[in-house]
Amino acid sequence: MADDTLHKQFPPYVPTKGEEYMSEKQQAHFREILSSVKSELMDDIERTVHTMQDEATVFADPNDRASQESDIALELRNRDRERKLIKKIDEALGRIESGEYGYCDSCGVEIGLKRLEARPTATMCIDCKTLEEMRERQVAK
């Protein structure tokens, strides 16, 4: 499950007129989103562990065994991605606690509520992220 689909049950944050950026209410909103996503990911990981333990079957047919190994490899790859996402969520929660959440790591400007709604683990504003991606594409060529 990707982080951009898990937190859609939360309504978008609508700041009140004159509300300061990353106010306590905004921080609480994003803390709740991040905690919810982390909880769902942890539940998925737990479910996968139990499923893999329960379905540990040895097939005599090489095709069945290969299919099972392929399924397990795919599941483990997905769980590894989720483990990395949990690490990013923990880092984002740490930034909320330290008062750094919502500000670009590269230039220091506000990331923006809409971008954070779409990707709560974002650490860069859209301009800096776009430049980084352009540099990555140039290096890859």
User: Residues 101, 22: contact at Cβ < 8 Å?
Assistant: yes
Structure confidence by residue, pLDDT tens digits, 9-25:
788 888 889 999 999 99
Residue 66 confidence class, pLDDT cut points 50, 70, 90: confident
Residue 5 confidence class, pLDDT cut points 50, 70, 90: very low
Arithmetic mean of pLDDT, 79-91? 95
Dihedral of the alpha carbons of 56, 62, 64, 65, in degrees to the nearest 10: 30
pTM of the entire predicted model? 0.82
Q: Which fold has domain 3-7+20-140?
A: Four Helix Bundle (Hemerythrin (Met), subunit A) (1.20.120)
Domain limits of the chain?
3-7+20-140
Residue ranges of the annotated binding site for Zn(2+) are: 104, 107, 125, 128
Secondary structure string (H, E, C) spanning 55-75: CCCCCCCHHHHHHHHHHHHHH
Residue ranges of the annotated binding site are: 104, 107, 125, 128
Q: Is the pLDDT of residue 74 over 70?
A: yes
